[in-house]
Amino acid sequence: MTARFPEWIRRPWASGQDFVFTKDLVEDLDLHTVCQSARCPNMAECWQKRTATLMILGNSCTRNCRYCSVPSGKPEDVEPDEPMRVAKAIQKMGLRHAVITSVTRDDLPDGGAGHIAETVRTVRTMNPNTTIEVLVPDFVGDAAAVEMVLASQPDVFGHNIETVERLYPSVRGKRCTYRTALSVLKMAAGWEPRTIAKSAFMLGHGETEDEIKQTLHDLLELGCEAVCMGQYLRPTLKQREVEGFVTPEKFKEYEEYAYAIGFGFAVAGPFVRSSYRSEELIDAFTAPEGT
């Protein structure tokens, strides 16, 4: 049985001219957002700030993770003009930090890495003062695909570990492995010129406190510098049930623990998602020492 929603799980309804601006812009440029496809609880807040996480390579994922509401099915054709449309959207929103993600495309020889890299380069050309964060799939651990994305020089390379190792088969399925996810992040952490390696995972799937802390140590030991932790919320009745809700106070403890063991950036809370308030990460790594 799904755990009952606690009082702290509340978000505002979408409204306002800035929300409408973002909605119209996304529709006019025929773009997808993870905000919509993954039913993110922060969509109203972010869109009212004229920001959105753009999702490329279509709206159909070749995997079917049990927690995710992004549609799974026949992949769509890769659109050569999509990088330009993404760059235009970022320009019109006036973003100083842009987050670009994608569906998983196991059907493509490079897993879509070339298209992601081209999007980064196009965004950089049209928005030279904007920092760029990519949130990518695991590319089945293919080093050449990971390196293709890294060579486009995103400021932040994100790949979500998603859950603790024990729960990987039940949460993510047989096509994903915890160790593959770690290997992708390790490649990013060791890349030169330097990029910030970032990951995120959801709590509420039945993990223990020891497993949460072990996951943080696993990420840190391979060189991951930034981490986000949030509450899993069941998007629709088709996804797996919530096993439990973590209190805001407990999330704060996990955030403090992450900093204590050595993360350069950590944020944890019921509504934290991998791209939520992501510009704060850039501020954390560029601020002068002592500020």
Q: Which of 115-124, 141-150, 167-176 has the lowest mean pLDDT?
A: 167-176
Residue 141: inside a domain, yes or no? yes
* Cα separation, 117 vs 264, whole angstroms: 26
* Domain presence at residue 2: no
Residue 44 in any domain: the answer is: yes
- Tokens at 94, concatenated: 């006036």
Residue 174 belongs to some domain of the structure: yes
Mean pLDDT of the chain: 92
Q: Residues 37-50: what's their mean pLDDT?
A: 78
The residue type at 28: D
Section 11-17 average pLDDT: 67
- For residue 200, the domain's CATH number is 3.20.20.70
What is the span of the domain harbouring residue 220?
17-286
Judged by DSSP in three states, 264 sits in coil
Split at pLDDT 50, 70, 90, the class of 175 is: confident
pLDDT at 287 over 80: no
Q: Does 1 map to a domain? A: no
- What integer pLDDT is reported at residue 3 of this predicted model? 54
Number of folded domains that form the chain: 1
- 96 occurs within a structural domain: yes
For the cut 70, the answer to whether the pLDDT of residue 12 exceeds it is no
What is the sign, positive or negative, of the torsion defined by CA atoms of 141, 57, 100, 64? negative
pLDDT confidence band for 43 (50 / 70 / 90): confident
Beginning with the edge strand found earlier in the chain, give each strand of the sheet holding 32-33 in spatial order: 32-33, 54-56, 97-102, 131-135, 156-158, 196-203, 226-231, 265-269
Query: Is residue 253 assigned to a domain?
Result: yes
Does residue 15 surpass a pLDDT of 70?
no
Task: Measure the CA–CA gap between 289 and 248, rounded to whole angstroms.
Answer: 29
Scan for tokens 């060189």, then name that residue: 223
Predicted TM-score (pTM) of this structure: 0.93
SS3 72: strand
Angle subtended at Cα 69 by Cα 65 and Cα 70, rounded to the nearest 5 degrees: 85
> What gap in Å lies between CA 38 and CA 71, rounded to an integer?
9
